[in-house]
Structure 1
Amino acid sequence: MSTYSNKRPRGAVSFLDINEVENQPGQTASLRRSHFFARMQADIHSVLDRDPAARSILEVILCYPGLHAVWGHRLSHWLWTHRLKLLARWVSQLARGFTGIEIHPGATIGPQFFIDHGMGVVIGETTEIGSGVTLYHGVTLGGTSLNKGKRHPTLEDNVVVGAGAKVLGAITVGANSRIGANAVVVKSVPPNSVVVGVPGQVVVRSKPRSSAAPDLDHGRLPDTIGDTLAALIVHVERLEQRLNGSEPPAPAVHAREAGLWHGEDFSI
């Protein structure tokens, strides 16, 4: 079993980091306040940048439970790291009741973290999240061990996790990767990858993304099972042709054309 380390993924920032910066010698009260409000402003703009339905700052502040959950976590994490753990758990439970999003105060979450819709999201104690990560509703970042050490995932910078996906265990999802809706990920994922299916099948991008914008194009996901079946059908047809010495009869199910399967008697 792995041993949990307090080392944070690149870009990870919490209220503790802000407190350490603000308490440096020479910091004025005005400068400390500016750090605090800069953090809140960055959280707000992460929503505006990634949700086209967000029309104004006021709407984001009042109507986005994902933002409320992030702010609640930043407070509870600060309490957790200052050994006020019971109070931290109480604050996190309050946030859970108000938002439907459960984030353990021990989780380490970086800047520009966005939870869209959010209901049913669960983030475990030893989860580590980098900068610019996006989660959708129903996502679980869960543990697979009774070990009190590191047992939850690490998401590196700019990872996007689709609705209903489960990322389980002390694994790492590499930077700039996208996990498709309802995928179940139990093994580490290289950077610049797309994961689909149950269990998750990893497709490494042939070219790294050139855009710095979050990869939110959920309609573009590989169909690893469909493509495999299509290749098998073509292979079987060729084998039949070689055995019969002639063209094989038309199969009941044809390989996909334009993304569609066709068959005379084909139902699911």
Structure 2
Amino acid sequence: MSAPVVVGVDGSESALEAVRWAAEEARRRHTPLRIVHAQEIPAGYPPGFVDWHALHEALAAAGRSAVDDARRAAQEVVAGLTVEAVHVKAGAVPTLTEVSAHAALVVLGTRGLGGFTGLLLGSTAVEVTAHAQCPVVVVRGAHRAGPVVVGVDGTPVGEAAIGFAFAEASARGTGLTAVHTWTDLLLETAFAGGAAALDFAPLAQQAEEVLGERLAGWQEKYPDVIVTREVSRDRASRALLRHAEHAQLVVVGTRGRGGFQGLLLGSTSQHLLRHARCPVAVVSTHDGAEGP
């Protein structure tokens, strides 16, 4: 059987939105949906402050309820979908990282409770996206029609993200918008106030050629996908957020160069995950082949 789509749940409404999105994705991929609940045990309370047996029982009951709710939500979206459930007593990051080794995709909500509290507001999201061994999708915003958008950094390590984006666009029967940005902040700073007089045409032409090279083989592999290219002198986060307004999915890689430098370790990825009004897929450099 194909590798499952995995979704992390904790009883929150955000997690249920992720479940619904993941169920549709599992249907498209003809693969099972695996619901994962990580029950973290709180520590640091003074002796006698809590009844640990009662606490463990209450947490287990809450976990079962979260999984049951998630199962119902998935089957309401896709009747007859094969749904598996995993409930473990462990932290969210190690659990998701471990299950990602045997998953086609890991899906998460934007906010959570219990084991996934603050998932996208602190270090947990960075750790999951950086260490997961398969693509990770963070579900935000309403489900809608529109193209798949991919950020192309112009380097060979970004091939996995491009391949993932083409496959998603093909499976969804929609177009693909490939966004490549470039900036020359050093020149613009050196000529402060006079940047408009600089001739950026050679750099723009080079960026167009780089994007064409990165897309060429993939367009041959997915002839059914209509591709729109955008090359602009802009910040990566700003360009991607602009396209996210009308996209059904935005895809980025874990590392990049130029406009996407430090994508998952700096402000660009955090800004995109916090503010994009559609699901965001983060594809690591080892999640696919080097080329089509």
Fold-level match, TM-score > 0.5? no
Rg comparison, structure with higher value: 1
TM-score, length basis structure 2: 0.26
